[in-house]
Structure 1
Amino acid sequence: MARIAVIGAGMGALSAAARLAVAGHRVAVYERTDTYGGALRRFERDGFSFDTGPALLPLPAVYRDLFVKTGKEPLEACVELVQVDPSSRHVFADGTAVSLPNASRAGVVAALDEALGSGAGKRWGDFLVRAREAWDRTRRPLLEEPLWPNWQVLADREPYPAVPHKRLLRTRRAGTLAEVGAWELRDPRLAALLENYALAQGLDPRVTPASAAVLPYMEHAFGTWYVRGGMRELARAVYERCLARKVEFRFGAEVTGVLEKDGRASGVEFADGTVAEADFVVAGVAPGVLDRLTAGHPVRGAGEVPAQRAAAGRLTVLLALRGARPEGTAHRTVVHTQDREAELDALFGAAARHADPTVTVLRPGDPRSAPEEHEAVTLTTVVPARPDRSCEDLAAHMISVAERAVPDLRDRLLWHEVRTPADIAEATGAEDGSVPVPALAAAGGRLLHPSNSTRLPGLFAVGGWAHPGGGLAHAGMSGALVAGLIVEGPDFRGSQ
């Protein structure tokens, strides 16, 4: 039985802790804040309750597997999973709106044909077929296996089978998601639908590789899910599973260093000068934090995937509305910008510009989220990690944009709260409150994440800033990979 110190209580760290404990190890989790869950936080006021982090769950099979492998009670016995249908509603710049059924390719094709015109659905359906091929080519190396030592193969090879496109007497293939939208979908609304999958992750679709086609494929193939009571309930369930497996927790315990002895990690040191010895250390922290914890012991070497420094964060506006949610309201509505190019320039361009943002409006209709005959609504948008204008100004702009989806919003508004990238930084420790992106192939490897193993034997990285990257599902996969590497050793070849 090994002693394992886990730094941080984010979802990747908790997933690893539960799996390691059930394998017979003595696991202790040290969290600098006063609670668990990382970005999965909850804000409550006047009987209203809001998720302040991820609000929907893709690939619930990741957490179903966690609960199967760590106890007798399945995930559904611990939380109530609800399939979101429609998966999303989209309001485009020209005012056209479409609701997309959950996990139904035929239903999506029909909905797009009806809303956008004959042929639109077929073009999107054909795109999803190609996206599935990219998924099949990258699923195991990007999600289910430790990062390959020859990761350059993933960096240099574009897995998306782009359709040949004739342009200026030349035949070209789309290399970016924006080119896929322009050349293969051939409708600005379909292009906006596609590009939003990158933008929602804080990525510029103009330079994001075509391999990002796996993001819409995953949603359409595996569905979108909500946890009744809010996504914080998922964090609670995983935390309680850790407790049931005898994982120890110390909150308010700030780790300031990783100890090293005889060339390997040997424990952690805390802000008060005390230490906890361990045979393995699992760090669920952002790259800058890990660098500080291992000062003098580089964890990445030349030729390895470098740590990402994401540039984008999230601004979230929590709205308390009087009056009940209307029957048939979509859980998630995406209100697309009036000027995508200006929005992308404002987010990713060298010159600062103010532009109409794309805003996601979340209206879960969960009776636990608001007092009777009232509604809790959450607005989110992508912002630079260091916004160049006041967050209150941005929030007011978001509310104006959201009125395209909720026309009576201002008349019903009781109060609002703003959650900024600085709040994310406080909860997660990520520099500037930036949010890690899922690992993607191609693009020279700039969207890959560092290996879970490090150059310091006995030290492992877990969570959104390590392989396979950001997102709730990816965090759970990261936990499974780290547990496998510790339990089975360096010959571990991935989950089955």
Structure 2
Amino acid sequence: MIGAGAGAMAAAARLAVAGHRVTVYERSATYGGSVGRFQRDGFAFDTGPGLLHLPAVWRDLFLKTGKEPLESRVGLVQVDPASRHLFADGTAATLPNASRAGVVSALEEALGAGAGERWGRFLVRARDAWDRSRRPLLEEPLWPNWEVLGRNPYPSLRRRGLLRVREAATVREIGRWELADPRLSALLDGCALSYGLDPRDAPASAALLPYMEQTFGSWYVEGGLRELARAVYERCLARKVEFEFDAEVTRVVEKDGRAVGVELADGSFAEAAHVVAGAPVAGLLGGRVWQDRDVPPQRPVTGRFTVLAALRGARSASAAHRTVVHSPDASAEAAAVFGGRAAERPTVTVLRPDDPRTRPDGAHEAVTLTATVTAHAAPGGYGADWTDVALRERCARALIDQAAAAVPEIRERLLWQEVLTPAETGPVPAPALAGGGCGWLHQGNATRLPGLYLAGGWSHPGGGLAHAGMSGALVAGLIVEGPDFRGSR
């Protein structure tokens, strides 16, 4: 197993239960991949995702690998309200958790007559997209005839124009043609952007992302999402999975047309019947590509710009756990993020967990600010140079300025801040989506090189903590049951 990220560990635990001897080689000093933690002066922050969606994925892992509930290993609580949204025109909407009817009522009350009804009708269409694409995108290995997934599963409304009938094919067009309210458009655009998708060209099937959140809810792990990574790691240890940290894999070794093990940076060779890569492997295969098929080129990837803010003063009892401060110019923001630049006024997500494990005492508060930004540029490549001190400082100010709408006097309360950029945390893969000519699919979990499998956010079904857990389940199924494995039932 290459890498100790969430997807790889999910596969490792399942394979160990099935009787396989599993060794994980991780180049860093710890497990979890992007699910990290930063601690200082009694404050603790997640450095990756801060909320959990579709916890059923991880509940299933714990039941299948130990017949005990996830909640016996971590404190899992629903976030209610799910989110508060501050729009550029000064209006605000507070949305309840896991209640589509409640969301419709809240939007109707906050944004005016008709707004909630339009969002409700949109959610019905989004449910159809979810129902049509859930199994092939989340619960099954990528189909051999994957091209059929290029069709749009979202039932767009038909609009008659002067010359032809038009349908919304992208997230942005859904906002303009079906939601018909700039604040509802901002709600949808912001959700897509938070997953690393460009609203201007992401397929309409991205509608299933807000549907998923508003139907199945948003959850917080007490102590932070890092506690989930710890629980999965401990489950692996309990099932006799072995971990080698500070052990960098430099090459996947092939013999007689099959992956037979890995070579490590110290020159040693570890033999294996199966190799599972929890990270991109292009550089480990001597420049050869072993995808299961030839996919269209992926769109530009994004990253996260994060400000970890240690604040003096107690958390307000009325504060929402998650507040989204929307950009006043979503088009300019998307053009910057997907044009290799930093946005002037980004959409900022403010996380304020009411959790004593994240702060030294009740007279302080740990607040995390995040924005989706362009990737870190390789020399001469796409993206921004996030090692540039002036750029980092300018973006940190922009996030704090935006966050002031959600956390009054944040600057006056600030004890210290820590800035994390894509230069430190890397790119963030988007989830797989149907439609759009298959341009939002990822590499399948099986490859053309027998014995080599891919798990994690850079393979099917794409990025996100829930998706990573699904990829681990798919890889384990392919190894245990063989190429005829058709997913969970």
Asked if TM exceeds 0.5, the reply is yes
- Partners of 2:37 and 2:342 lie apart in 1 by 32
- Residue 24 of structure 1: which of 19, 22, 29 is its match? 19
Superposition map of 1:2-17 within 5 A: 6-17=1-12
Partner of 1:304: 294
Partner of 2:283: 292
Query: What one-letter code is carried by the residue in structure 2 that aligns with 1:186?
Result: A
Instruction: Return closer, same or farther for 1:483/1:307 CA change in 2, 3 Å cut-off.
Output: farther
- Partners of 2:8 and 2:217 lie apart in 1 by 25
Partner of 1:283: 277
3-state SS of the aligned residue for 1:110?
Answer: helix
The Cα shift of 1:119 comes to: 1.1
Query: What one-letter code is carried by the residue in structure 1 that aligns with 2:291?
Result: R
- Residue 376 of structure 1: which of 366, 370, 385 is its match? 366
Taking every aligned residue pair, what percent have the same amino acid on both sides?
A: 68
- Partners of 1:297 and 1:457 lie apart in 2 by 14
Instruction: Return closer, same or farther for 1:332/1:134 CA change in 2, 3 Å cut-off.
Output: same
Query: What one-letter code is carried by the residue in structure 2 that aligns with 1:36?
Result: Y
Number of residues paired by the alignment? 477
Query: What one-letter code is carried by the residue in structure 2 that aligns with 1:128?
Result: L
| Contact residue 305 and residue 451 of structure 1 kept, 8 A | no
The Cα shift of 1:310 comes to: 3.9
Partner of 2:177: 183
Partner of 1:359: 348
| Contact residue 342 and residue 395 of structure 2 kept, 8 A | no
- Residue 146 of structure 2: which of 151, 160, 164 is its match? 151
The Cα shift of 1:353 comes to: 6.9
Partner of 2:440: 447
3-state SS of the aligned residue for 1:451?
Answer: coil
| Contact residue 18 and residue 247 of structure 1 kept, 8 A | yes
Superposition map of 1:147-296 within 5 A: 147-155=142-150, 157-168=151-162, 170-286=164-280, 290-295=281-286
TM-score (norm 2): 0.95
Greater CA drift, 91-100 or 195-204: 195-204
3-state SS of the aligned residue for 1:258?
Answer: strand
The Cα shift of 1:47 comes to: 0.3
Query: What one-letter code is carried by the residue in structure 1 that aligns with 2:197?
Result: L
Deviations 1:320-350 (A, max 9, x none): 0011111121100000011112112211247
Partner of 1:3: none
The Cα shift of 1:169 comes to: 5.1
Is the counterpart of residue 489 in structure 1 residue 482 in structure 2? yes
Partner of 2:450: 457
| Contact residue 44 and residue 357 of structure 2 kept, 8 A | yes
- Partners of 2:474 and 2:145 lie apart in 1 by 18
Superposition map of 1:308-387 within 5 A: 308=298, 310-349=300-339, 352=341, 354-372=343-361, 373-386=363-376, 387=384
Task: List structure 1 runs of 4+ shifted beyond 4 angstroms.
Answer: none
Partner of 2:381: none
- Partners of 1:353 and 1:369 lie apart in 2 by 29
- Partners of 1:134 and 1:339 lie apart in 2 by 28
Deviations 1:119-143 (A, max 9, x none): 1111001100000000000000000
3-state SS of the aligned residue for 1:35?
Answer: coil
- Partners of 1:59 and 1:166 lie apart in 2 by 38
Instruction: Return closer, same or farther for 1:307/1:346 CA change in 2, 3 Å cut-off.
Output: closer
The Cα shift of 1:309 comes to: 6.2
Instruction: Return closer, same or farther for 1:353/1:363 CA change in 2, 3 Å cut-off.
Output: closer
| Contact residue 344 and residue 398 of structure 2 kept, 8 A | no
- Partners of 1:202 and 1:489 lie apart in 2 by 33
The Cα shift of 1:376 comes to: 0.1
| Contact residue 305 and residue 449 of structure 1 kept, 8 A | yes
TM-score (norm 1): 0.94
**RMSD (CA atoms):** 1.3
Superposition map of 1:462-473 within 5 A: 462-473=455-466
The Cα shift of 1:262 comes to: 2.0
- Partners of 1:11 and 1:226 lie apart in 2 by 17
Query: What one-letter code is carried by the residue in structure 2 that aligns with 1:413?
Result: L
Instruction: Return closer, same or farther for 1:20/1:345 CA change in 2, 3 Å cut-off.
Output: same
3-state SS of the aligned residue for 2:22?
Answer: strand
Deviations 1:20-76 (A, max 9, x none): 000001000000000000000000000000000011000000000000000032100
| Contact residue 310 and residue 436 of structure 1 kept, 8 A | no
Query: What one-letter code is carried by the residue in structure 2 that aligns with 1:211?
Result: S
- Partners of 2:300 and 2:254 lie apart in 1 by 29
Is the counterpart of residue 39 in structure 1 residue 34 in structure 2? yes
The Cα shift of 1:203 comes to: 1.5
| Contact residue 307 and residue 450 of structure 1 kept, 8 A | no
The Cα shift of 1:88 comes to: 0.6
- Partners of 1:486 and 1:224 lie apart in 2 by 32
